[in-house]
């Protein structure tokens, strides 16, 4: 069947964009308007109440953030006992696929950095902390980067993600030291403040900027998972920062990848940093 019906509206499937455990994202054509959309389908057959609630939470937050530009548009949705359909804006390519294909021109790095900061600032202003930011969460829509999801419901990987290639889902390469250390006692509830917790997304953004700048993430070369987790948390493991054209860029990277959460800058401070504010 190559048609999807959402709230009684017909969409023709053009192709599969990505698929996860129980979800798929299709590129579809709305016959009436001849417009292209992305439809995210979630199969709820084997989903328990916690998963169903996490999807409802993601939809609620997505609706609340609809007036913000750097957040993906949600046009319609349908929830039934057996499935969820989300009719959303269709982008051209996610940042993970984009970075796998080509190195970023150095003058474009600042453009992407500003847009990622602004997008994450939007969810922080709504009291949402992602905690699992990676390039696959960002999407190019008409040349600008938008945030696809908020880390509330489980995520999707590219349909071309082979088992061997490091799929972006579940990658530890962007995880902050405090997230790794706190996941042990998460049952105790995170007592730290929103201000401190926001810094975990700053660490992940720093890892993404590092990947854009140097072509690899700070701990990518450590393939053993335990060794990787230890290195991320170990202050004696010095992250390498090779010099690049713009010393302000290296300074941003060094500040974002500070293990001490209190020393790490906030998004607001990063937007005031000379790397961002000194250029046009
Ligand atoms: C490998 N190949 C894939 C297709 C294309 O990239 C995308 C096109 C559209 C999109 C998208 N638009 N609206 C979207 C709304 C929700 C989710 C979306 O993706 C989810 C998931 C798809 C797999 C990659 C990670 C993001 C959405 C996303 C990737 C080109 C690269």
pLDDT confidence tier of residue 163, bands split at 50, 70 and 90: very low
- Do the Cβ atoms of 209 and 115 come closer than 8 Å? no
107-132 per-position pLDDT tens digit: 999 999 999 999 999 999 999 999 99
pLDDT above 70 (res 173): yes
* Helix or strand (DSSP H, E) at 107: helix 106-125
CA nearest to 12, candidates 2, 22, 1: 2
Rounded to the nearest 5 degrees, what angle is found at the Cα of 181, between the Cα atoms of 180 and 186?
90
d(CA 24, CA 14): 13
147 CB within 6 A, ligand 1: no
pLDDT of residue 21: 82
ipTM beyond cut 0.95: yes
Cβ burial, residue 212 (10 Å; 0-12/13-18/19+): buried
Task: Write out pLDDT tens, residues 236-269.
Answer: 999 999 999 899 999 999 999 999 999 999 999 9
pTM of the model: 0.93
42 C-beta closer than 6 A to ligand 1: no
Q: Which atom of ligand 1 is nearest to the CA of 160?
A: 1
Query: Does 204 sit in the ligand 1 pocket, CB within 6 Å?
Result: no
Quick one: which of 241, 250, 196, 197 has its CA closest to 218?
Answer: 241
């Amino acid at each position: 069947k190559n048609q999807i019906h959402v709230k009684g509206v017909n969409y023709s499937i053009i192709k599969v964009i990505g698929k996860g455990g129980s979800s798929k994202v299709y590129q579809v054509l709305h016959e009436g308007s001849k417009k292209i959309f992305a439809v995210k389908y979630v199969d709820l057959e084997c989903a328990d109440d916690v998963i169903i609630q996490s999807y409802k939470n993601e939809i609620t937050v997505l609706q609340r953030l609809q007036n913000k530009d750097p957040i993906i548009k949600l046009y319609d949705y349908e929830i039934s006992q057996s499935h969820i359909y989300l009719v959303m804006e269709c982008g051209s390519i996610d940042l993970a696929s984009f970075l796998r294909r080509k190195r970023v021109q150095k003058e474009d790095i600042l453009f992407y950095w500003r847009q990622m900061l602004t997008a994450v600032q939007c969810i922080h202003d709504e009291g949402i902390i992602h905690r699992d930011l990676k390039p696959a969460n960002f999407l190019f829509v008409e040349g600008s980067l938008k945030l696809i999801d908020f880390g509330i419901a489980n995520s999707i990987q590219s349909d071309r993600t082979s088992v061997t290639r490091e799929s972006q889902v579940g990658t530890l390469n962007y995880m902050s030291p405090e997230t790794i250390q706190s996941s042990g006692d998460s049952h105790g509830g995170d007592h730290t403040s929103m201000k401190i917790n926001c810094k975990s997304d700053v660490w992940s953004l720093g890892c993404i900027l590092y990947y854009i700048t140097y072509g690899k993430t700070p701990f990518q070369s450590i393939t053993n998972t335990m060794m990787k987790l230890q290195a991320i948390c170990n202050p004696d493991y010095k992250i390498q920062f090779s010099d690049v054209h713009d010393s302000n860029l290296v300074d941003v990277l060094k500040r974002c990848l500070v293990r001490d959460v209190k020393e790490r800058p906030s998004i607001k401070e990063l937007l005031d940093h000379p790397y961002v504010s000194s250029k046009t």
